[in-house]
Amino acid sequence: MSRFLRSRLLAGVAAVVAILGLGYACSTRQGAPALTAGDAAQRVYVAPGDYDEFYAFLSGGFNGQVGVYALPSGRRLKTIPVFSQYPENGYGYSEETKAMLNTSYGFIPWDDVHHTTLSQTAGEDDGRWLFVNGNNTPRIARIDLTRMETEEIIEIPNAAGNHGSPFVTENSEFVISSTRFSVPVPNADVPIADFKQRFKGQISFIRADQPGKMAIAFQMIVPGFSYDLARAGKGPSHGWMFLSTYNTEQANSLLEVNASQRDKDFVAAVSWKAIDACVKAGKGRPASVEYLHNVVEEFTRIARTERLTTVTQLEPKDCPGAMYFLPTPKSPHGADVDPTGEYITAGGKLASVIPVHSFSKMQKAIADKAFEGELDGIPVLTYESTLAGEVQNPGLGPLHTEFDGKGYAYTSMFISSEIVKWKLGTWEVVDRVPTYYSIGHLMIPGGGTRKPNAKYVIALNKITKDRYLPTGPELTQSAQLYDNTGNKMRLLLDFPTEGEPHYGNAIEAAKIKDKQLKFFKLAENRNPMVARAERETGVTRDGKKVHVRMTAIRSHFAPDNIEGVQLGDTVLFHVTNLEQDWDVPHGFAIMGNTNGELLVMPGETRTLRWIPSRVGVFPMYCTDFCSALHQEMQGYVRVSPAGSNVALTGTLSRGPSAAPKAGGEKE
């Protein structure tokens, strides 16, 4: 059955390719050398209780999160919510975390995460932070890798479709934002037909080396193309950022045809060092905008929103020498820089070759003024003047390239559904393996840095079709792990992923593992509503607001009986987890709450808002199986009619061995 299905699907794929008139796809595909199932199993088997070799952080695409996986086993370890509310741990539901999802448009519970980038020191992944982009409502987030939580999110004004983002420079000086959907800048009520006159792109550089202090250093307003992907230069090309562009036709409708007319689009080379110098020389101007910056405060663990109203803007003509266009066939997707910093490869998704630009040739061409023209003050270099070489007949639909640091490049081929390995310098294809199916990004641990660890190649696929047990119309997303220790890549493992894994990063576990925070120190908790011991708990009324300062420890809440709440009140449960031990979170939920639940880490305070809608007695309980007496970890809240004379109390019985002690109002 499944073999029949598979052969039918393969026939279908071949037919589609033939219809597209791109008929040599299947003839270029060679089978990977056979690896027996036993060999492959041994390579990915991590014995129970043993640790994997790598952490992999895969973007969740339209789930707005990041998945943490372990390689080579492909086991999923965690989901880190970033732009999406996450009922599992209360992110975006608790009062402390809601502000993380604030934007200038208001509270948004979702975004589309495409790309990850690890912070770097001297061009190497250093394991401090992970940056990810929000594509739909342009934002960039920073995740702290010692606690694997989102700590900071900055919104990008004048951007739309923050796709070419957040690729980092080699000392984490900057992460980048670039526009995929050009829009009027500043945005305004204009006819869409005025696209060519009124619509602009932006390229922003965001300071990324100071936790909690991400800031847009400067924003370049650029021609209204689609800026797709980017990579920072490294080594000799440090100080530059290379971005792919498409729709240089500047079409505003039926882009699939109208944006695919030109033979060549561009790789944009942008010198942020030159822009930095121009800005310091006073050539930037403050533009009036509105964007938010949300940061988790270190000791209160409360997310705070800062509203910002200006950004330093400039145009290419204000800063000659800061930006050049390199003609590149055809609607390029990835723009990737090799570990030496010399080569810039472009995956022209509709091109029949993979063009590779040379950074040193580009500098010579600039010095020689080998320009074929100028666009909005941006010199356009000739194709030949920057070209290092072309990989001929690589396959169909080249998208992204990663490197192994040994002189080889690996390019994902969306249409012919394969990974192609080729040699830098000779541009010859040396190996190819099929992917199942339609690979988007590929990833090598450190493959975009100066120090790749190319033991494995990971395919991040768009289609899984018959690879897993079917699950209705929506199938699982997936990644594939290839062995890359020999001359030929060999498929080791398929593993399902959450959401759509656009891009990801893998890093040696040793760089992160021992820095993991086990719990927050209760003594350092400065949340204004913390209760560091049961004697500090209490229930207080502030008009229509009832604050319950509450503690959780195995296996009870204090207080656990609350009376005196009235219909019309808003109750705020400030729950502090008193545990100071690893892996003992407590949960908190109450019946009928139209909000979510809390998952409170040891030493942390989290607040849940509840607006009772009826009179009665409502149970609350711990939702995380914390201990042998977890089922007993519960309590009641009594809700009386408005104006009732039931006294406001919060109590906890001390058990039959001690005299019952009233809690009540303590403040």
Partner 1 sequence: MSRLVRTLVVVAALLMSAAYALPLWRVSLFAPQYPEGLGMLIRVNTVDGVKEHDLANINGLNHYIGMKRIEPDAIPELRFMPVLLGGLIVTGLGVAALGKRVPFAIWGTALGALLLAGLADYWRWGYDYGHDLDPNAIIRIPGMSYQPPLLGTKQLLNFRATSWPASGGWALVLAAALVAFALYLAFFRRARADRTSARVASVPFMVAA
659 touching partner 1, by CB under 8 A: no
| Tally of CB atoms within 10 A around 353 | 17
Distance, in Å, from the CA atom of 294 to the CA atom of 307, rounded to the nearest integer, reads 9
In degrees and rounded to multiples of 5, residue 59 shows phi and psi of -65, 150
Strands (E), 385-436: 387-392, 398-403, 408-413, 418-423, 429-434
507 touching partner 1, by CB under 8 A: no
In degrees and rounded to multiples of 5, residue 397 shows phi and psi of 75, 50
The nearer residue to partner 1, 279 or 652, going by C-beta atoms, is 652
Stretch that binds partner 1, among 218-226, 310-318, 379-387, 577-585 (CB under 8 A): 577-585
The nearer residue to partner 1, 354 or 553, going by C-beta atoms, is 553
554 touching partner 1, by CB under 8 A: yes
Rg for the chain, CA atoms, rounded: 28
| Tally of CB atoms within 10 A around 192 | 10
Check: CB of residue 44 under 8 Å from CB of residue 493.
Answer: yes
Distance, in Å, from the CA atom of 36 to the CA atom of 40, rounded to the nearest integer, reads 6
Stretch that binds partner 1, among 237-245, 248-256, 453-461, 650-658 (CB under 8 A): 650-658
553 touching partner 1, by CB under 8 A: yes
Q: Which residue from 382, 580, 595, 644 is in contact with partner 1, where contact means CB under 8 A? A: 580
Reduced to 3 states (helix: H, G, I; strand: E, B; else coil), residue 480 is strand
Instruction: Tell me, by CB under 8 A, how many residues bind partner 1.
Output: 11
Site string for partner 1, 621-640 (x = CB under 8 A): -------xx-----------
CB of 579 to partner 1, least distance (A): 8
427: left (phi over 0), alpha (psi -120 to 50) or beta: left
CB of 516 to partner 1, least distance (A): 13
Show Cβ contacts of residue 534 under 8 Å, excluding neighbours closer than 6 positions: 551, 553, 558, 578, 652
CB of 657 to partner 1, least distance (A): 5
Residue 69: beta bridge partners? 56, 76
The nearer residue to partner 1, 423 or 554, going by C-beta atoms, is 554
The nearer residue to partner 1, 374 or 581, going by C-beta atoms, is 581
| Tally of CB atoms within 10 A around 164 | 30
Q: Which residue from 3, 36, 657, 659 is in contact with partner 1, where contact means CB under 8 A? A: 657
The nearer residue to partner 1, 570 or 580, going by C-beta atoms, is 580
Q: Which residue from 581, 619, 625, 631 is in contact with partner 1, where contact means CB under 8 A? A: 581
Concatenated DSSP letters of 238-263: TTEEEEEEE-TT---S-HHHHTS-SS
Q: Kindly list the distances between the CA atom of residue 210 and the CA atoms of 66, 207, 453, in Å, as whole numbers in the listed order.
A: 22, 7, 27
656 touching partner 1, by CB under 8 A: yes
CB of 510 to partner 1, least distance (A): 19
The nearer residue to partner 1, 1 or 628, going by C-beta atoms, is 628
CB of 589 to partner 1, least distance (A): 23
Q: Where are the alpha helices (DSSP H) in 377-469?
A: 383-386
Distance, in Å, from the CA atom of 257 to the CA atom of 246, rounded to the nearest integer, reads 12
532 touching partner 1, by CB under 8 A: no
The single-letter code of the amino acid at 539 is: V
655 touching partner 1, by CB under 8 A: yes
Stretch that binds partner 1, among 158-166, 259-267, 381-389, 575-583 (CB under 8 A): 575-583
Stretch that binds partner 1, among 15-23, 254-262, 422-430, 654-662 (CB under 8 A): 654-662
The nearer residue to partner 1, 55 or 519, going by C-beta atoms, is 519
Residue whose tokens read 């840095």: 449
Q: How many residues does the chain have?
A: 667
Tokens of 38: 């036993």
CB of 659 to partner 1, least distance (A): 13
CB of 602 to partner 1, least distance (A): 9
531 touching partner 1, by CB under 8 A: no
Stretch that binds partner 1, among 284-292, 450-458, 573-581, 645-653 (CB under 8 A): 573-581
CB of 318 to partner 1, least distance (A): 56
The burial of 382, by beta-carbon neighbours within 10 Å (0-12 exposed, 13-18 middle, 19 or more buried), is given as middle
The single-letter code of the amino acid at 642 is: A
The nearer residue to partner 1, 229 or 626, going by C-beta atoms, is 626
CB of 580 to partner 1, least distance (A): 4
Residues that bind partner 1 (CB under 8 A): 553-554, 579-582, 628-629, 655-657
